Structure 1
Amino acid sequence: MPELADITNPDVDATADAAAPADGTGLGAFEALLHDERLTAAGLLFEVAAGLEAALGSQIDGHGLALSEFEVLLRLVRSPGGQLRMSDLARQVNLSSSGLTRLADRLEARGLLERRACPTDGRGSNALVTAEGRTVMAAVLPGHVALVERWLTSALEPAQLQALTGALRAVRAGVRPDAEAGARTGVAPGPA
């Protein structure tokens, strides 16, 4: 079976496979790909992520937060000093700089977040969760963690959860290497 790198490399003919049918259709490699465990793993990951987002989203919404607002506040409350550089935060929550700025504007107007000049880089700014933001998160998190337990962690043994967390960190390091907390700042990394 061709390696994934071979399939995505335009210089490699992914249909050229020793298992290709004698009729020359090249469907042997295609049929093998249909049963490739890599597709299964990626498909399950996407399916689980979408299911968790739906299961957790309504609880978060019930507290007056959009999922993206919750994610920003969660990253902040879990970071040292309750703050992150805006550019690092944008990468962690998969928003453009302008998208995060608009979201931060909304959270700042509600008193949940404030922005301050970055002490290590005069061009940048840090997002800081406020006391009110912490109060909101203190109200949201017990129900959120209960749902995470119900829909995710209760299905796993402790060793499986540890292995899953490690595997997800490894994948993230490959696809989003600059998303690690504090990747380019003087702010120490927090939990992801």
Structure 2
Amino acid sequence: MTATDPAMTALAHSWSALSLLHGRIEGSVERALQTEHRLSAREYSLLDVLSRQHDGEGGHLQMRQVADSVVLSQSATTRLVTRLEDRGLLSRYLCPTDRRGIYTDVTDDGLRLLEEARPTHNTALRKALDQAATEPVLAPLVRAVHQLQGDIPRPDDRP
């Protein structure tokens, strides 16, 4: 295998295209959320992940699981939780069965902001994907994104 191996070159180009798509989507979502809701894309993701917790067995995520879900280190996730807690969007409490564990929940204000921001997030995501779909190198990746979980419905789509 050489440095100019065609298979590795193609793989590197594919990875570059995936990175480009991710960067464009994240940038579009970030700008929209900041402009409309003073919320970063990471903050939105954290609120979204934590809003899906429940009180049943295994319903609350440990900080390591939260960090994995929002693709941050544990220390960066802890700082993010602290910032949102300072804004009144999250609260922490001790695990009732293990006093060493600390859980994080979304407050009512946090849930309200998340619901207000969700349409902004989805619209920015849709627009970024639609724009990327017009570029030949990104179009196959956009199709793959749509196939993963099904297409995100547009507000004007009717069943």
Match for 2:10 among 32, 37, 40? Answer: 37
Distance 1:33 1:125 in 2: 50
Count of residue pairs the alignment pairs up: 139
Q: What residue is the counterpart of 1:76 in the other structure?
A: 50
Match for 2:34 among 61, 67, 86? Answer: 61
- The TM-score normalised by the length of structure 2 is 0.71
Shift of 1:123: 2.0
Residue range with higher mean Cα deviation, 79-88 or 114-123 = 79-88
For residues 126-141 of structure 1, what are the structure 2 equivalents within 5 Å? 126-141=103-118
Residues 120 and 49 (structure 1), Cα distance of their counterparts in 2 relative to 1, 3 Å cut: farther
Shift of 1:161: 3.9
Residues 78 and 44 (structure 1), Cα distance of their counterparts in 2 relative to 1, 3 Å cut: farther
Match for 1:117 among 94, 106, 114? Answer: 94
Q: What residue is the counterpart of 2:21 in the other structure?
A: 48
Shift of 1:98: 2.5
Distance 1:50 1:30 in 2: 26
Shift of 1:32: 2.1
SS of the equivalent of 2:115 reads: helix
Residues 42 and 120 (structure 1), Cα distance of their counterparts in 2 relative to 1, 3 Å cut: farther
Do the aligned partners of 1:112 and 1:130 also contact (CA within 8 Å) in 2? Answer: yes
Shift of 1:118: 2.6
Q: What residue is the counterpart of 1:172 in the other structure?
A: none
Where in structure 1 are there 5+ consecutive unaligned residues? 1-13, 15-28, 167-192
Where in structure 2 are there 5+ consecutive unaligned residues? 134-138, 151-159
Residues 118 and 52 (structure 1), Cα distance of their counterparts in 2 relative to 1, 3 Å cut: same
Structure having greater relative contact order (Cα 8 Å, sep ≥ 6): 2
Match for 2:65 among 84, 88, 104? Answer: 88
Do the aligned partners of 1:84 and 1:128 also contact (CA within 8 Å) in 2? Answer: no
Residues 131 and 43 (structure 1), Cα distance of their counterparts in 2 relative to 1, 3 Å cut: same
Distance 1:139 1:162 in 2: 24
Residue range with higher mean Cα deviation, 116-125 or 136-145 = 116-125
Post-superposition CA distance 1:101-143 (Å, at most 9, x none) = 2221111111100112234543221111111001111111111
- The TM-score normalised by the length of structure 1 is 0.61
* Residue identity matched to 1:115: R
Do the aligned partners of 1:90 and 1:96 also contact (CA within 8 Å) in 2? Answer: yes
Root mean square deviation of aligned Cα: 3.0
Of all paired residues, the percent bearing the same amino acid is: 30
Residues 67 and 126 (structure 1), Cα distance of their counterparts in 2 relative to 1, 3 Å cut: same
